[in-house]
């Protein structure tokens, strides 16, 4: 009798361990290129809305996105963010509360920004947006080598430079970028490929909705555990100085993320076991006359934001504490959330400590002093120029050394 009871108890524990809750946590890293924190937290900027230089139909765009308060405007622009995410997740980066998220890289453009997010390292030698192979180890390729996630890591992006950022050949990741067709056997992919093939004018950035549909079809078919979704049209419309279309695309991004979240919560593989990490690669100008540009000299270009939802994320909504986070901390933080330790061939910034209250006062969310983490405080323009000169000198020396060794 006692033996039978012990056997039953063992079977009970084996069955309990096999339940879905014991499965590795899934993570979706979602980025929308160059979307300012100002629009995320305050909605449409009234000063830009009234400017016919940036808005083709000011009356209609005001009807769509204007409001009396920031809360009203942001709910119009990004309803999923300010309903579901604000209730069940966290939103960081509202600088009106001194809650700050910044890039650490010097250049404040896309390739350095995505490298920083995915490698945990603000590499000073990555200076341009050119399609050059990234030597830095990224979080996705690291997870793809771990037993819990091996063969279940994928990336989709609108911008066609992502295969280089992720070093697709070296990392052995599945990466689909730009107007690249999916070769897998699927009616859904067949339709998407036909649409892509019939786009008359293509550039380096695919229509975001095509990227989204490709990713969603892959999810339906393969159920990846780790997925990157890089959307790009917010930045495209920003550079084109089309504030009305920039706002429309921000609204579209919100809808796509909402649809993705609904899919996840109605799929038994993903339900209650999937984290969304949502952010951007850089900010834009804070001056309403120069909102469209970003570079190392542009004020506001380093200012970003972060949204998170899922298991392990306290449902605190908008964080209103005086805190400083950096994009380079994301790789280690994501790894920590899924009980992994990201290791790479370069320094990796420490994970930040997730808040337990939306209002607790904590100036540094890293748990270490600024110098211990190598986090750079505010630097004057002269300081930035000095750093630029040093980096340029290092690049020249590296090039000369390579030529010498080749002789």
Model confidence pLDDT, tens digit, residues 158-181:
999 999 999 999 999 999 999 999
Hey, how many other C-beta atoms are within 10 angstroms of the C-beta on 378?
6
Q: If you average pLDDT over residues 367-393, what whole number do you get?
A: 45
Q: What is the pLDDT of residue 383?
A: 53
As a whole number, the mean pLDDT across the chain is 88
Integer Cα distance of 210 and 215 in angstroms? 9
Q: Is the pLDDT of residue 3 over 60?
A: no
Name the percent of the chain lying above pLDDT 70. 83
Length of the chain: 407
Mean pLDDT is lowest, of 14-28, 35-49, 143-157, 362-376, for 362-376
Q: What pLDDT, in 10s, does the model give residues 90-134? A: 999 999 999 999 999 999 999 999 999 999 999 999 999 999 999
Q: What is the pLDDT of residue 359?
A: 81
Q: Which residues contact 197 (CB under 8 A, 6 or more apart)?
A: 181
Q: Is the pLDDT of residue 214 over 90?
A: yes
Higher pLDDT, 391 or 333: 333
| Token code pair at residue 317 | 């909504």
Q: Is the pLDDT of residue 323 over 60?
A: yes
Three-class HEC string of 59-97: HHHHHHHCCCCHHHHHHHHCCCHHHHHHHHEEEECCHHH
Based on its alpha-carbon atoms, the radius of gyration of the chain, rounded to whole angstroms, reads: 22
Q: Helices 208-222 & 187-197, crossing angle to 10 degrees?
A: 160
E-assigned strands of 150-282? 153-157, 174-177, 226-231, 274-279
Q: Is the pLDDT of residue 15 over 80?
A: no
Q: Is the pLDDT of residue 197 over 50?
A: yes
Mean pLDDT is lowest, of 29-33, 239-243, 378-382, for 378-382
The number of angstroms, rounded, from the C-alpha of 242 to the middle of its chain's C-alpha atoms is 23
Q: If you average pLDDT over residues 30-53, what whole number do you get?
A: 98
């Amino acid at each position: 009798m006692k033996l039978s009871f012990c056997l039953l108890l063992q079977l009970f524990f084996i069955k309990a361990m096999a339940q879905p809750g014991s499965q590795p946590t899934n993570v979706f890293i979602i980025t929308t290129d160059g979307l300012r924190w100002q629009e995320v937290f305050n909605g449409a900027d009234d000063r830009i809305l009234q400017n016919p230089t940036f808005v083709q139909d000011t009356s209609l765009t005001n009807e769509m996105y204007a409001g009396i308060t920031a809360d009203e405007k942001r709910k119009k622009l990004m309803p999923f963010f300010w309903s579901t995410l604000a209730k069940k997740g966290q939103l960081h980066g509202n600088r009106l509360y001194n809650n700050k998220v910044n890039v650490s890289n010097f250049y404040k453009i896309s390739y350095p920004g995505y490298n920083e997010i995915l490698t945990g390292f603000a590499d000073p030698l990555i200076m341009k947006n050119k399609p050059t192979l990234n030597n830095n180890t990224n979080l996705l390729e690291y997870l793809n080598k771990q037993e819990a996630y091996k063969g279940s890591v994928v990336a989709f992006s609108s911008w066609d430079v992502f295969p280089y950022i992720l070093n697709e050949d070296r990392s052995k990741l599945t990466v689909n970028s730009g107007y690249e067709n999916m070769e897998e056997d699927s009616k859904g992919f067949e339709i998407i490929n036909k649409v892509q093939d019939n786009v008359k004018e293509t550039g380096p950035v695919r229509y975001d909705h095509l990227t989204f549909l490709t990713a969603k079809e892959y999810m339906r078919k393969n159920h990846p555990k780790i997925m990157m979704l890089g959307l790009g049209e917010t930045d495209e419309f920003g550079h084109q100085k089309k504030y009305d279309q920039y706002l429309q695309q921000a609204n579209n991004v919100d809808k796509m993320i909402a649809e993705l979240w609904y899919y996840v919560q109605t799929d038994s593989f993903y339900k209650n076991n999937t984290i969304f990490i949502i952010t951007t690669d850089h900010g834009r100008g804070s001056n309403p006359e120069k909102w469209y540009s970003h570079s190392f000299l542009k004020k506001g270009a380093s200012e970003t934001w972060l949204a998170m939802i899922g298991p392990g994320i306290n449902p605190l909504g908008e964080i209103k504490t005086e805190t400083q986070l950096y994009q380079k901390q994301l790789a280690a933080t994501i790894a920590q959330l899924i009980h992994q330790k990201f290791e790479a061939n370069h320094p990796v910034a420490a994970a930040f400590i997730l808040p337990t209250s939306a209002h607790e006062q904590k100036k540094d969310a890293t748990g270490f002093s600024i110098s211990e983490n190598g986090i750079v405080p505010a630097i004057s323009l002269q300081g930035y120029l000095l750093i630029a000169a040093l980096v340029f000198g290092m690049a020249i020396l590296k090039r000369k050394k390579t030529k010498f060794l080749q002789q």
